[in-house]
Amino acid sequence: MSRTTARETAYLVLFSNQFRPVDCNNETILDVLDGKPIKESDLEFVKSLVSGVMTNLAELQELVKNNLSGYTLDRVYLTDLTAIILGAYEMKYCNDIPNKVAINEAINLAKKYSSPKGAGFVNSILSKINKELSNE
| CATH code, domain with 114 | 1.10.940.10
Please report, for residues 39, 69, 103, 132, the alpha-carbon distance to residue 44 in angstroms, rounded to integers and kept in the order given.
9, 35, 21, 29
Total number of domains constituting the chain: 1
pLDDT tens digits, the chain, 136 residues: what are they?
Answer: 688 989 999 999 999 888 877 766 667 777 777 777 778 888 889 999 999 999 999 999 999 999 998 889 999 999 999 999 999 999 999 999 999 999 999 999 999 999 889 999 999 999 999 999 998 7
Residue-number span of the structural domain to which 11 is assigned: 3-134
